[in-house]
Chain A
Amino acid sequence: MAQAVPAGQKWWSGGKSPFNVEYGKLMMWYFLMSDSFTFGAFLISYGSIRFATNGWPNPNDVFKAFPGFGETNMPLVFVSLMTFILIMSSVTMVLAVAAGHNSDQKKVTFYMILTILGGLAFLSCQAWEWTHLHEEGAWWGRNPFPNADGSRATTNFTNFFFTITGFHGFHVFSGVVINIIMLIKNLRGDFARRGHYLMIEKAGLYWHFVDLVWVFVFTCFYLL
């Protein structure tokens, strides 16, 4: 839509990519497709088990702490901060991609650094949240939180929570590593020499995907 494609272009007659994207970018899309089904399987099994259980803990009673505020009841505040951090780092990532389009090496460096910092901030928040929950007695196989109706809860709640946020956190971690590699390559001038910043775009796709998954994790665990 945004690009000039000749009218009546025959995409399937050979000689050009029928998807009009570079090979590596297409493969990144397909990888993300498969990854979305992995996450989908996790989240849907969580939903399936939740539908197959009579009671479930109320997330607002579980996730209500904020660092430095002790026992104050602040549901949703901390996770909102985490969501904001991740959206913000997604924005700086697109800005890095945009800078790459304009072959602006310095700006790419600047926005990649911001993106990496955002990723690290998110990981720190998650580390704090896990530590806090662990101190409250929650872990795989241990669930101190009763159901919303006061009955005893199964350990499914904590098992799913730690597995899925852990798997997502691992994705964030690998995204940060990929972004650091991209930053180093950019600083070395690899992309400038190559004449394009497609690698930044591929790393960007992965990073946005991590943000996309968080949107669903946020809804499934903290809102529903």
Chain B
Amino acid sequence: MYMSSIETTGHDKPHATFDTKPIWRTFWILLAITLLELTLATIHMKWGFPPKYVLNGMYLILTCAKAFYIIAEFMHLRHEIKNMIMTIAVPACLFIWFIIAFLWDGASYNNLRNRYDRHYADQNKIKVEQPAEKPGKPE
């Protein structure tokens, strides 16, 4: 227990009071964002508006906002010192490359197969017998 005997400045110590107001504020924000996502999804289901790709962009932004609030407030990272924030935030930036590279690769593979593999491209034109029927009903 070498490191734990080293002094830290503050909130690890029990006597520091901990305000519960920001917790509930974060809760309401998370709930509001989730409800907004559900509202958007419902509107899209009913009227087909906004278009799906616009909707997906909004979902991604809202998801990142939720992730920010959970990490910053619930996991308390926003209140740590800069060194601590950076040791988490900098490696996490790998995700930017990770997501772009692999989605790009997937899309490229799909394009190549649609262009050069006739059988693969035709598969998508075959419809299941009764698409209107409830999926998953045992035959």
How far does the alpha carbon of A75 sit from the alpha carbon of B30 in the complex, in Å? 21
Question: Which of A75, A101, A150 is the one whose CB lies under 8 Å from B45?
Answer: A75
Distance A45 CA – B103 CA, assembled complex (angstroms): 8
Q: CA of A197 to CA of B14 in the docked complex: distance in angstroms?
A: 8
The 8 Å CB contact of B41, one of A4, A60, A95, is A60
Complex Cα gap A80–B30 (Å): 12
Output the nearest chain A residue to B111 by Cβ-Cβ distance.
A52
B136:A47 contact, CB within 8 angstroms: no
**Binary interface encoding of chain B residues 127-139 relative to chain A, with 1 for a CB under 8 A from any of its CBs, else 0:** 1100100111010
CA distance A98 to B14 in the complex (A): 10
For the complex, what is the distance from the CA of A54 to the CA of B103, rounded to whole Å?
Answer: 14
- Between A and B, how many residue pairs show CB distances below 8 Å? 203
Q: How many residues of B contact A (CB 8 A)?
A: 74
Contact A150 B74 (CB under 8 A): no
**Distance in Å from the Cβ of B17 to the closest Cβ of chain A?**
6
B8 partner, pick from A6, A20, A60, beta carbons under 8 A: A20
Residues in B with CB closer than 8 Å to A101 are 11, 14, 16-18
Q: Tell me the smallest distance from the CB of B123 to a CB of chain A, in Å.
A: 7
A188 at the interface (CB under 8 A from B): no
**How near does chain B come to A10, taking the closest CB pair, in angstroms?**
11
Interface residues of A, Cβ cutoff 8 Å to B: 1-6, 9, 11, 15-26, 29, 33, 36-37, 40, 44-45, 47-55, 57, 60-62, 71, 75-76, 80, 83-84, 87-88, 90-91, 93-95, 97-98, 100-103, 136-138, 144-147, 149-152, 195-198, 204-205, 208-209, 211-212, 215-216, 219, 223-224
| Apart from A90-B70, A224-B56: 15 A-B pairs, beta carbons within 8 A | A5-B81, A19-B81, A37-B94, A49-B106, A51-B107, A95-B23, A98-B19, A150-B127, A151-B124, A151-B125, A195-B14, A196-B14, A208-B74, A211-B74, A216-B63
